[in-house]
Structure 1
Amino acid sequence: MPWREMSVMEQRREFVRLAMQEGANRRELCRRFGIHPSTAYKWLARWRADQDVADQPRRPLGSPRRTASALEQRVVAVRDAHPAWGARKIARCLRREDVSPPAVSTVHQILRRSDRIKAPLGGAAASQRFEMPAPNMLWQMDFKGWIRLGNDAQCHPLTVVDDHSRYDVALQACADQRGETVRDRLEMTFRHYGLPDAFFVDNGTPWGDPSGARWTRFEVWLLKLGIGVIHSRPYHPQGRGKNERFHRTLKAEVLALRCFRDLAETQRAFDAWREVYNFERPHEALDQEVPASRYRPSRRPLPDRLPEPEYDTDEIIRTVPATKAYISFKGRSWKVPQAFCGERLAIRPTSDGTYGVFFAAYQVATIDLTDGKSVGHVSEQVSAMSPV
């Protein structure tokens, strides 16, 4: 077998056997095998002691600074009693028991060594991302926290970011967060970039309702345009990570240590920076490409007139009064969401004694003829409606 095909261990054993032969020239063997003499004599000593010539582990036999075994066992015991607790909570618990705990990082390492902490599948949770496969499938929309202007007025920056490309389709300096204000700004955006398939928003004003009701007038307007609305989980802003990250960048690169006189000056600054962000600033999540490299305007234009839902001629249709959120059915009045005042709704049977109340293809409430209890509101989920 050629020399280059021999394993390292085979070479070492052959060297030792040759070096142990009577009359062997060990220095010459060292030169031929490419081995330092001190290493060769170390291997020979191990061979005489009936030890292998493999590399010995470099881990020290003892660690005088290692946490005492009893303390490690106590850390593990607290973890087993409270599996959801992390290193900080465990250290605090030990301190309350008059036990001097090791550093929090050491407690964390103890939990890892004892297999009480497992690395999440697929890597750390913070690196997990979702991304739509094409532009305009989902836009993330939110208000950044308001800022005080030089004229003592407030500015509420409205931000809209395309999920696929991170392209900023709208950055508007608004005087308030009313639905009419957002609608006006979005109509201008829709004229430039077309309509998205859906918006991803939180549960705040104007796309959400503080009362917990699912439907708002703003959302009804979007539904008429064929735009879906997806609400994030309450108190989980990380779900809208792209928009939150955009806000951090906006604060660092535009708003930090600057004071604008009025909304007009703020909007000029937003417009100048928005061009840099979309066309010049490399984005780490895009392999250092710019958002404009991945964005294309939507093929769905903003219609000249707002579409209205269409229903079959044989369906039961009711128009909700403009001032009262009730419809009449089977000789009784039934409550519907306030957002549909003035809108036409369809009543469709779903099961024995139960009917669905629909706005186009969206079920907005349920009529249950078997339940005589009344309800005072419509929750975020489809509610069982009762006569009033």
Structure 2
Amino acid sequence: MSKQKVIVLAVTVQGLSVSETARRYGVSRQWVHELLDRHRAGGLPAVEPRSRRPKSNPRATGAGIAERILGLRNELTAAGLDAGPVTIAWHLERENLRAPSTSTIRRILHAAGLITPEPKKRPKASLHRFEAHQPNETWQSDFTHWALADGTDTEILNFLDDHSRYLLACTAYRPVTVSAVVATFLSCAAEYGLPASTLTDNGMVYTTRLAGGKGGRNAFEHQLHALGITQKNGSPNHPQTRGKIERFHQTLKRWLTGQPRAHTLQDLNEQLGKFRHIYNHERPHRALDRSTPADAYTATPKAAPAVARQGDHWRQRIDRVDRFGKLTLRHAGRLHHIGIGRVHAGKHVLMLIHDTDVTISDTATGEIIRELTIDPTRDYQPRQRKTPRSEDRGVFVNDDSTHP
């Protein structure tokens, strides 16, 4: 029995006075009179403790906001995008709505049965996360597999800025080759400037250092070396080194799962272009304090290679060696012919041009076929070797059987 009922019964049944009852039970006379008034109006049940909750709360989440929170949850989930409380709050602010705290959003989602309990995760304190201090300080790159509607396998090549998580490139190939990596890298560099370093795994499209020392650098390694860009490779079988882009692949595939399955490579690349815009400009990132990658990428001055000169003229092009073993290249308005050798006739090659320096590699294998510096005074650029004659050291002798 509650104390309030005992007080009322002491007066109404035992016959104690209001003053005696107040003294005996340590309450005020006004409180005893209030309890008696409640008893007269509604009997003993009316004297039970009442809720102190206010009848209204001006800061309570309105029904309209709660409904929009649930709507955003469903819309984002259906689109394959993140739909947690932080992301929902960001979208509410973008719609000029007053966003409640993330804990309030979480309670609304939980009450609607939209929160799926997750197993206990590894504590964040146990992780040692590396993050570049500036945009373009490190570009991470990797590719992942995705099937078309008919089951055809494709490979999606991505370049991601480590500092801002800005998605520099997201392109599907069948399959990813050294040439595709170089072409995509140069396209990114032409638009965003040269990075100070790159971070990739040890796949053959990125490095040949684990290939037993055969063949030297591939075209991607050579290009980075020529531009003074530091190349970093993760330890074999240790994907945590490239954790950002590995986690990014989960985000990408979750979004693709929410879209109609592409039928062609072109269809898939159109979807990837749409995703890239959403990821960079319309999706807040938890690691960026709810900023978008585009905002983070432009907020800080960009890093650059230590020795390379930004703004140098460099380009890439894919060509085919003619039947005489030669290529043509226009430099400073003049056409030059480059000797490659008849053994390479008919091959498709990738030409990396940095001012007058040219590197030519096989598009199929990434093998460097020839490196040269264009002589602007000569039409034909022959293959040359030093003749090891003691009486004429340093003399260059033409060793190109393709040129008369």
Normalized against structure 2, the TM-score is what? 0.44
Report 1 or 2 for greater relative contact order, CA contacts < 8 Å, sequence distance ≥ 6: 2
Normalized against structure 1, the TM-score is what? 0.46
